[in-house]
Amino acid sequence: MRLVLKPIIPVLVAFFGAIASACSPYTDQPIRSGEIWPDDRGEHINAHGGGILVHDGTFYWFGEHKGERSSSAFVGVTCYSSKDLVNWKYEGVALSVSDDPASDITRGCTLERPKVIYNKKTGKFVMWFHLELRGRGYSAARAAVAVSDNVTGPYTYIGSGRVNPGIPAENVTDADLAYIDALQEIPRSWTPEWLEAISKGLYYKRDFAGGQMSRDMTLFVDDDGKAYHIYAAEENLTLNIAELSDDYQSHSGRYVRVAPAGHNEAPAIFKRNGTYWMITSGCTGWDPNAARMFSAPSIFGPWTQHPNPCRGEKSEITYGGQSTFILPVPGKKDLFIFMADIWRPRNPIDARYIWLPIQFEQDGTPYLEWLDEWNIKDYK
Ligand code: GAL
């Protein structure tokens, strides 16, 4: 039997391979970072600081709508859909800002880095985003949540606030807190003593009762269906990773501080072969800086910092961009797309997108190289 089958095997492999590629949704059209990306209406995609949800074989890209002069939210969160990650259909405004001046999300608020996940238990789509109240700069530092029965919306705003008020982080020690309590005075900002105090929890403790600050953020759903909210807390000095409740609409109370006093924002995360990888940026506002990378054997850590994953020209400024999301591409075993924004604060609507395939060293360490163009089809 074996003898008979042997010559047929390459034929079968070629046959099923051909069927698989005929069924593949991916096209020959390349991805060209930094260029204008027209949607089905011919308009540059307006979904900044975004993320992608894969649902029922379709990609849904949610992001910040930006105008020509202001980065504030005058429209809301936009949604685009695609089967191939190259051709995008505008699906409209998924979460609209409110006309009610009393609403948290009134027109002119700051609504950043929206991410949507699907909850299998409730059948609802849950959107989290960073919210700043209108006219109050970046002082509110709130996490906000909205839900919908339909992936493209409309999403209903549920509420916003600081995170986990009165709840201790799992990795804060009594020794850390004793160190803070023993401080005679608050050290001068940016001195080594101050960074040490921040690292031990100076701002964590300051914000404990009212809840931790939450600015740049992303979401991550693990293989077991648990979801996590990863956000810049403590005046952007420390990241938090907080588990969401079973319905994804609130926090469960479990969270850890990550890279305390490391000054990270723009977190983007993925998991490969059991290791969690996170790419972040430093904090220089709209200006690009060098990316940072961390890994951990568990979502709650311990997280270890690695060198900047970017290589080549402009690697010290992430090729002009700032991380926003990492997409594992379905059907492509080792294709994880690193997504970043090239901000244009003087003409925010013209901000561009960087999408690069993450590459891997022999030992599994991720790295990035700029590619003028590349094709999803070329990945297995
Ligand atoms: C960036 C942040 C953006 C936005 C901007 C405002 O550092 O990643 O999401 O908040 O600052 O200056």
Tens-digit pLDDT profile for residues 73-89: 999 999 999 999 999 99
CATH of region 38-161: 2.115.10.20
Q: How far apart are CA 309 and CA 290, in angstroms?
A: 9
pLDDT at 146: 98
According to the model, what pLDDT value does residue 101 have?
A: 97
Q: Break the chain down into helix, strand, coil percent, rounded to 5.
A: 15, 40, 45
Query: Per-residue pLDDT tens for 101-160?
Result: 999 999 999 999 999 999 999 999 999 999 999 999 999 999 999 999 999 999 999 999
Percentage with pLDDT > 90 across the chain? 93
Report CA(127)–ligand 1 centroid distance (Å).
19
With tokens 């051709």, the residue in question is 87
Residue 3, pLDDT above cutoff 70 = no
Is residue 243 lining ligand 1, measured as CB closer than 6 Å?
Answer: no
pLDDT tens sequence across 299-339:
999 999 999 999 999 999 999 999 999 999 999 999 999 99
pLDDT of 11 above 70: no
Residue to probe by mutation, ligand 1, list 48, 112, 136, 217, most atoms within 8 Å of CB: 112
pLDDT in tens, 188-234: 999 999 999 999 999 999 999 999 999 999 999 999 999 999 999 99
* pLDDT at position 253 over 50: yes
Atom 2 (ligand 1) nearest CA:
285
341 lines ligand 1 (CB under 6 A): no
Q: What is the mean pLDDT of the chain?
A: 95
Residues 40-60 as b or e (16 or more Cβ within 10 Å = b): eeeeebbbbbbbbbeeeeebb
> What is the predicted pLDDT for the residue at 255?
98
48 CB near ligand 1 (under 6 Å): no
- Nearest-atom number in ligand 1 for the CA of 112 is 9
| Residue 12 confidence (pLDDT) | 56
Q: Select from 64, 132, 142, 216 the residue to mutate for testing ligand 1; criterion: most ligand atoms less than 8 Å from CB.
A: 216
Whether the CB of 340 sits within 6 Å of ligand 1: no
CA distances from 233 to 274, 360, 380 (A): 26, 30, 38
Q: What is the pTM of this model?
A: 0.94
In the chain, where are the structural domains located? 38-161
User: Which numbered atom of ligand 1 lies nearest the CA of 322?
Assistant: 8
285 lines ligand 1 (CB under 6 A): yes
The answer to whether residues 111 and 76 touch, using CB atoms and an 8 Å cutoff, is yes
Ligand 1, closest atom to CA 266? 8
In which band, very low, low, confident or very high, does the pLDDT at 1 lie, cut at 50, 70 and 90?
very low
- Residue whose CA is closest, atom 11 of ligand 1? 285
Residue 274 and residue 308 in contact, taking contact as beta carbons nearer than 8 Å: no
Q: What percent of the chain has pLDDT over 70?
A: 94
Residue 27 has pLDDT above 60, yes or no: yes
From the CB of 286, is ligand 1 less than 6 Å away?
A: yes
Is 229 close to ligand 1, i.e. is its CB under 6 Å away?
no
pLDDT for res 24: 84
Q: Kindly state if the Cβ of 264 falls inside 6 Å of ligand 1.
A: no
Per-residue pLDDT for 19 more than 70?
Answer: no
Q: Whose CA is nearest to atom 7 of ligand 1?
A: 285
Please tell me the distance from the alpha carbon of residue 320 to that of residue 54, in angstroms, as a whole number. Answer: 27
Token reading at 313 = 């020209």
Q: How confident is the model at residue 238 (pLDDT cuts 50, 70, 90)?
A: very high
Residue 16 has pLDDT above 80, yes or no: no
Q: What is the SS3 assignment for 344? A: coil
| Helix/strand/coil (H/E/C) assignment for every residue in 16-73 | HHHHHHHHCCCCCCCECCCCCCECCCCCECCCEEEEEEEECCEEEEEEECCCCCCCCE
Average pLDDT over residues 240-244: 99
Is the Cβ atom of 200 under 6 angstroms away from ligand 1? no
